[in-house]
Amino acid sequence: MSLSIDLIKQLLGNDLPGEDAHLAMSPLGRQKSSQAIKQVSNYRESAVALVLFEIEDTLKSVLIQRPIYKGSHSGQVCLPGGKKEDFETSLDQTAIRECVEETGLITEHLNLLGSLTPVFIPVSNHHVHPYVFHYTEAPEFLPDEREVAEILPFNLLDILTKENMKTTDIRITQERILRNVPYFDIREKVVWGATAIILNEFRVLCERHVD
């Protein structure tokens, strides 16, 4: 599969795979976001950044791992991002700000390519808008010690390889285990939930248009 930044920008300007592409990586019983969000009124708008960069002609991206804390996303592997602040006029600004804060990347090197379909996360009441960026320089990461336990650069091929799509059981609480949860195996990390859903739409978008 041959991909380039220019081609990805072109693909993002076409019709997106949308929520149909979310289903393959959604935990069993999870509703489509467009249905689930109708049942709540106090959700927060959020944004995440799928950052693409090139190292030795290889396309890569980056995930972060959250530290362990008392919260619904403790220890999870995810895309850089967070909730929209009142002073921000657009959600792509949110994605950039959070990405810069969490990874140490430089704002001026983040070039917006397009966006993917929003995902609603019921457990935290966040409506997440994914934005895709090209980082135009070789990245030097400086993680925020409070919000980031580990920076995880990875080859984009990792999500385009179906062998890395697996299932596992995930313990949510002492009393609750989710069975047969789909996830991406990336750098031997379990990437599941909203992050896997977003990555899968990007995967489907690329596979739909590239031989």
Quote the pLDDT of residue 30: 83
Cβ-proximal residues to 13 (8 Å cutoff; 6+ apart), any chain: 114
Collapsing DSSP to helix, strand or coil, 165 comes out as: strand
pLDDT for 11 beyond 60: yes
Residue 141 vs residues 62, 64, 104, 186: alpha-carbon distances, Å: 10, 11, 5, 19
Quote the pLDDT of residue 91: 98
pLDDT for 70 beyond 60: yes
Cβ-proximal residues to 56 (8 Å cutoff; 6+ apart), any chain: none
What is d(CA 38, CA 182) in angstroms, rounded to the nearest whole number? Answer: 25
The residue ranges of every structural domain in the chain are: 5-209
35-61 pLDDT tens trace: 999 999 899 999 999 999 999 999 999
Number of CB atoms found within 10 A of residue 111's CB: 14
- How many percent of the chain have pLDDT more than 90? 81
Q: How confident is the model at residue 72 (pLDDT cuts 50, 70, 90)?
A: low
130-143 pLDDT tens trace: 999 999 999 999 99
pLDDT for 172 beyond 60: yes
pLDDT for 71 beyond 70: no
Q: Yes or no: say if 81 and 118 are a contact pair by the CB < 8 Å rule.
A: no
Q: How confident is the model at residue 208 (pLDDT cuts 50, 70, 90)?
A: confident
Partners of residue 132 on adjacent β-strands? 50, 114
Partners of residue 120 on adjacent β-strands? 127
What is d(CA 3, CA 203) in angstroms, rounded to the nearest whole number? Answer: 11
Provide the residue type at 56 as one letter.
Answer: E
149-168 pLDDT tens trace: 999 999 999 999 999 999 99
Q: Where are the alpha helices (DSSP H) in 15-168?
A: 33-36, 91-103, 157-160
What CATH class is the domain 5-209?
A: alpha beta
Mean per-residue pLDDT over the chain, rounded: 93
Between 52 and 145, the more confident residue is 52
Q: How confident is the model at residue 29 (pLDDT cuts 50, 70, 90)?
A: confident
